Amino acid sequence: MENLRKILNNLSGLKTIAFSLLFFNLVSILSLYSSLHQQGQFVGEEILLRQIIWILLAWLIFFGITAINYRLYYGLSFFLYALSIILVGAVYVAGYEAMGAQRWLTVGGLTFQPSEFAKITIVILMARFFSQPPKNNFWIDFCLPFLFVGGCVLMIINQPDLGSGLIIGLTAFLIGLFSRVKKKYFVLAFVFILIAAPFSWNLLKSYQQNRIIAFVNPNVDPLGSGYTIIQSKIAVGSGQVLGKGFLSGTQNQFNFLPERHTDFIFTVIAEEWGFLGSIILIFIYWLVIKKILDRLKKVRDPFAYQLGIGIAVYFFVHIFVNIGMALGVFPVVGLPLLFISYGGSHIICSFILMGIFFNISRNYT
């Protein structure tokens, strides 16, 4: 009972973030409900019900995670990494295939995406590596952590899931930038990536190459690889300042936009609620990340600090890339909008990370 009281007191101390999460839940349900309409008919009762169940389950897990001391993850970091590698590897053997990719596992009727779990473990593992005093050695300070990251990324990209692989790599890279490791290592790595990028073209699968080509010029294949980007831009632009209103978006209601209840749910929001609604949503996202960074100013434990930075980076990268993808400023990489897109794996993983942050905050309040 005393433990529950402490959790609730900590929650009240972080009420801005807590209310923001409830706001995201509401936006998720409303946007999903709208996206599952076709010409005035609601066709996704089962999908909406599943999302509500995922949200409720995520909150239960969140409260449980807030009660676990964050220091436990330091000792478990390598075990969690090994477990995530096993799960990602299991996808190759017994994975569930959908939309041309084998990325999901089904256990007891429950389907989940191991790459989402891998994102959490990489955040924890990088926090452990980068919280240690640097040795001023390129191989130990920089290469060793990214050897672990690279192994995980290559396995995920080969599923194929290029988007999740790149997000994991980018998240780890940004976490390192906030550490005490020499910045010149990251500059050199960035220059190397820029030089090597053109030579990796032939390593990409044909659909991945088509997505990049469509990103540069969607009109090259307007009914194929460029279709989603074109329709997404039309939906976002047609919302104008105040939007067309709830259930009134034509690109949404007339089924012009594919994947609008998952990766492109931001277009539903932009079309129905316009520029104003989109800015409000982005502001709430910014507020959550700012609150996380503000709370980290009180943290004295290097591991807790790097873990909190990793959580903030994880949220920022997902939000920035997903919205950029919907606006056509980034290639389509198959990435959900955090807390809002349909899908249990990313919602639960996001709430797990938020629960870890709440525990960190609880220990430094």
pLDDT tens digit at each of 365 positions of the chain: 555 565 555 555 588 899 999 999 999 999 999 988 877 788 888 999 999 999 999 999 999 999 999 999 999 999 999 999 999 888 888 766 665 566 777 776 677 788 889 999 999 999 999 999 999 999 999 999 999 999 999 999 887 788 889 899 999 999 999 999 999 999 999 999 888 888 887 777 777 777 787 777 777 777 777 788 888 888 888 889 998 988 888 887 777 777 788 889 999 999 999 999 999 999 999 999 999 999 998 898 999 999 999 999 999 999 999 999 999 888 888 789 999 999 888 999 999 999 999 999 888 75
Lookup: tokens for 362: 């609880």
How far, in Å, are 6, 15, 283, 357 from residue 299 at the CA level? 18, 19, 25, 11
Upstream peptide bond of 160 is cis (omega within 30 degrees of 0): yes
Structure token digits, residue 2? 């005393």
Prediction pTM value: 0.91
d(CA 339, CA 5): 26
Task: Give yes or no for a contact between 142 and 189, defined as CB atoms under 8 angstroms apart.
Answer: yes
Q: Which amino acid is at 79?
A: F
Backbone angles phi, psi at 16, to 5 degrees: -60, -45
pLDDT for the residue numbered 228: 82
* Assigned token pair, 50: 């599943």
Burial label, 147 (beta-carbon count in 10 A; 0-12, 13-18, 19+): exposed
Confidence (pLDDT) at 13: 56
